[in-house]
Amino acid sequence: MSQFWSDRIHQLTPYTPGEQPKDVQYIKLNTNENPYPPSEAVQQAIIAASGDDLRLYSDPSATDLKSAIAEFYSVDITNVFVSNSSDEVLAHTFVALLKHDAPLLFPDISYSFYPVYCKLFDIESMQIPLTDNFEIDIKDYPKENGGIIFPNPNAPTGKALSLEVIEQFLQAHPNSVIVIDEAYVDFGADSAISLINQYDNLLVVQTFSKSRSLAGLRVGFAVGNSALIEGLERVKNSFHPYALARNAIAGATASIKDVANFDKNRQKIIATREKATTALEALGFEVIPSSANFVFAKPPQGFEAESLYLQLKNKGILVRYFNAPRIDGYLRITIGTDDEMSSLSRALKEIIT
Amino acid sequence: MSQFWSDRIHQLTPYTPGEQPKDVQYIKLNTNENPYPPSEAVQQAIIAASGDDLRLYSDPSATDLKSAIAEFYSVDITNVFVSNSSDEVLAHTFVALLKHDAPLLFPDISYSFYPVYCKLFDIESMQIPLTDNFEIDIKDYPKENGGIIFPNPNAPTGKALSLEVIEQFLQAHPNSVIVIDEAYVDFGADSAISLINQYDNLLVVQTFSKSRSLAGLRVGFAVGNSALIEGLERVKNSFHPYALARNAIAGATASIKDVANFDKNRQKIIATREKATTALEALGFEVIPSSANFVFAKPPQGFEAESLYLQLKNKGILVRYFNAPRIDGYLRITIGTDDEMSSLSRALKEIIT
């Protein structure tokens, strides 16, 4: 508390990220990082852009990166926005496109940063409960709204909506911006980017942190109608025009171009997820079918999620436990390597049996 | 224009950065970049942090970097805030500390981003004219205010205030946050960081972009009373907790530790500035004595600043011309290498004589 703080700051409850232990001995299955490193090509591109030219500002429009994304998704470069992490892309989106008179709508269970942005930017919101099966039901979303945002697949449930349902949203709310937050889409859902030329109210947000193994580089992007993108550019250019470092632009560009490595790693993670799901079910867990690089799992009868989280931590394995209504009976477990998931299964077996 | 934009977005006039030509043939004296590259130690630290671990999130509190800054300036780590560029540090500062009922004050001639932040964040402001000599006069700053911000040295004039005058500001406005934006301080002014333990209303903002040759890495920081820093952390952690990339933290940390290279380069730039000033004066320019890595210079009688800017551009030299009241008769010229400044003098001589 300080007399010098602006009014709004007193009311903020910042997002709590997953633990980032400095003791690296943990098996880290708590922040949905990719277990596989970025490819050699990506690392080389970053290193090549980390020389003497770092004395010079980066390209404020990050044209190389936007072009690569546009080509990868067969859209125009004016449909692409890039910035420093998808959190920042989301923040700019809330400011540019989601602050209106009617409340912004999002599921009660979804990325826990959404209510934080609403507080920071003074945006009225309404949280729409997921169904008892943790489903987003379009019938629950009122006509009167200032925008709709949800992750697809949803977090932390891992459940994905089909493009058919997303089109129903877009058609039912033609005067609202619909933001699909696709942080995890590459692990088993269909991207709505294929719909942006049909729907001028659709913005798709993605990140390099998960499927592209670049959580430590901080790059995110959005794809949508060029008028929406221009709104984002206005905010970004009123905030920090040079959002991305030279080597971040270079590394992200190389990542988009390295399709083979991208496909290989996400397929490995999907395969490991299916094995891990089977192993958890064999231990009595109820595992929600996941389209993401994590599973959301309910411990067997007689075991508390929080206690399991703590016991796993004692055994050197970090998973994520949310002390929040409706989801405090679950653990969110990031999919690591096959070996890491076997360690998890062994540790859980020791605790449970 | 779009029906989907939030109201505020329609009103934004984003900051216009200096030209960043992709044709690298220009001698770039327009964006106050450092002509000398970051040291080998800095480049190696960035490369070492650009390997497999980029798959992992960075340390959200950037403790290594904060510690290095705290040690360099002999302050506590709780006095240090770091984020992605000093533009972002300033943006968070406007939100966290400078939005109050009374208007924020800043000079009419200063960093042209300040009014942009006021528009973006809906902050009432009052621009206080510099004196006819382009001086900040404390007598012109009304008691009733919601904060005061100015660059020291000022931009684009290059004129510095003494710490004595800054203390007068701090004492005259004990209930206002005073932000000293020290982007250029290392080229000839005294940092107010030495005052932060005496004044709880002082925040000092600095950047790695100029004196530390890292414009392309995007790192900035602030130093001040821990309550002010906590206000900034609240905003940052409600915006994007992982603000800095792993390799940005590593590079900036190495830069702070490489004191010898830092001192060598800024001394070289100061020496070149003095030579360049003499050369410009010999050509009939009126040069404001500068404490920065640029000079603000008025062409000799009979020559228009805008026309000189365009003619220099034709000759492959970029300088900065501001089409704005009171300063449209000047050119802002970044201090490059001795060779670059000689090229500038030769080109100007051809144009003028």
Convert the pLDDT of each residue in A97-146 to its tens digit.
Answer: 999 999 999 999 999 999 999 999 999 999 999 999 999 999 999 999 99
CB neighbours (10 Å) of residue A2? 18
Residues B58-115 pLDDT 10s:
999 999 999 999 999 999 999 999 999 999 999 999 999 999 999 999 999 999 999 9
Out of 3.90.1150.10, 2.30.38.10, 3.10.150.10, 3.40.50.300, the CATH code matching B7-37+260-352 is: 3.90.1150.10
pLDDT classification of A353: cutoffs 50, 70, 90:
confident
With beta carbons under 8 A apart, name residues in chain B contacting A240: 84-85, 87-88, 91, 218
The dihedral region occupied by B313, where left means phi > 0, alpha psi between -120 and 50, and beta the remainder, is alpha
Residue B44: the pLDDT is 98
Burial grade of B136 (CB within 10 A; 0-12, 13-18, 19 or more): buried
- Tell me the nearest-neighbour CA distance from A120 into chain B, angstroms: 7
Residues A51-86 pLDDT 10s:
999 999 999 999 999 999 999 999 999 999 999 999
Contacts of A87 (CB under 8 A, 6+ apart): A113, A220, B239, B240, B241, B242
Contact B61, B69 (CB under 8 A): no
For A309, list phi and psi in degrees, rounded to 5.
-55, -45
Largest separation between any pair of C-alpha atoms in chain B: 60
Out of 3.30.565.10, 3.40.640.10, 3.40.190.10, 3.20.20.80, the CATH code matching B40-259 is: 3.40.640.10
Dist. CA B103–CA B118, nearest whole Å: 10
- Tell me the nearest-neighbour CA distance from B37 into chain A, angstroms: 5
Contact A335, A293 (CB under 8 A): yes
Dist. CA A81–CA A75, nearest whole Å: 12
With beta carbons under 8 A apart, name residues in chain B contacting A233: 14
With beta carbons under 8 A apart, name residues in chain B contacting A53: 37, 216
Residue A38: the pLDDT is 98
Dist. CA B208–CA A303, nearest whole Å: 51
Using CA atoms, how far residue B87 sits from A294, B295, B301, in Å, is 35, 22, 36
Measured CA angle at A295 (ends A292, A298), to 5 deg: 150
Dist. CA B269–CA B65, nearest whole Å: 25
Which of B6, B215, B228 has the CB atom closest to A56's CB atom? B215
* Cα four-point dihedral sign B298, B301, B304, B308: negative
| CATH 3.40.640.10 correct for A40-258 | yes
pLDDT classification of A24: cutoffs 50, 70, 90:
low
Using CA atoms, how far residue B295 sits from A235, A335, B194, B285, B292, in Å, is 31, 56, 26, 11, 7
Residue B23: the pLDDT is 63
A267 pLDDT exceeds 70? Answer: yes
Dist. CA A110–CA A161, nearest whole Å: 13
How many contacts, defined by CB atoms under 8 Å, are there between A and B? 275
- Tell me the nearest-neighbour CA distance from B186 into chain A, angstroms: 16
Beta bridge partners of A180: A150, A204
CB neighbours (10 Å) of residue B225? 21
Residues B161-172 pLDDT 10s:
999 999 999 999
pLDDT classification of A248: cutoffs 50, 70, 90:
very high
Is B12's CB within 8 Å of A243's CB?
A: no
Kind of pairing, strands B27-28 and B317-318?
Answer: parallel
Q: Is the fold of B7-37+260-352 the same as that of B40-259?
A: no
What proportion of chain B, given as a percentage, has pLDDT over 70? 99
pLDDT classification of B314: cutoffs 50, 70, 90:
very high
Kind of pairing, strands B148-151 and A320-321?
Answer: unpaired
B/e letters for A127-149, b = 16+ CB within 10 Å, e = fewer, are bbebeeebebeeeebeeebbbbb
* Helix, strand, coil percent values for chain B (each to nearest 5): 40, 15, 45
Residue A17: the pLDDT is 73
List chain B domain ranges: 7-37+260-352, 40-259
Q: What is the mean pLDDT of residues B293-306?
A: 98
Contact A237, A82 (CB under 8 A): no
Q: What is the mean pLDDT of residues A163-181?
A: 98
Which of B2, B20, B201 has the CB atom closest to A57's CB atom? B20
Lowest-pLDDT range of B23-27, B104-108, B195-199, B329-333? B23-27
Rounded to the nearest integer, the mean pLDDT of chain B is 96
Dist. CA B81–CA A262, nearest whole Å: 35
B270 pLDDT exceeds 80? Answer: yes
Rounded to two decimals, what is the model's pTM? 0.97
Which of B17, B57, B100 has the CB atom closest to A31's CB atom? B57
A323 pLDDT exceeds 90? Answer: yes
CB neighbours (10 Å) of residue B135? 15
Residue A16: the pLDDT is 73
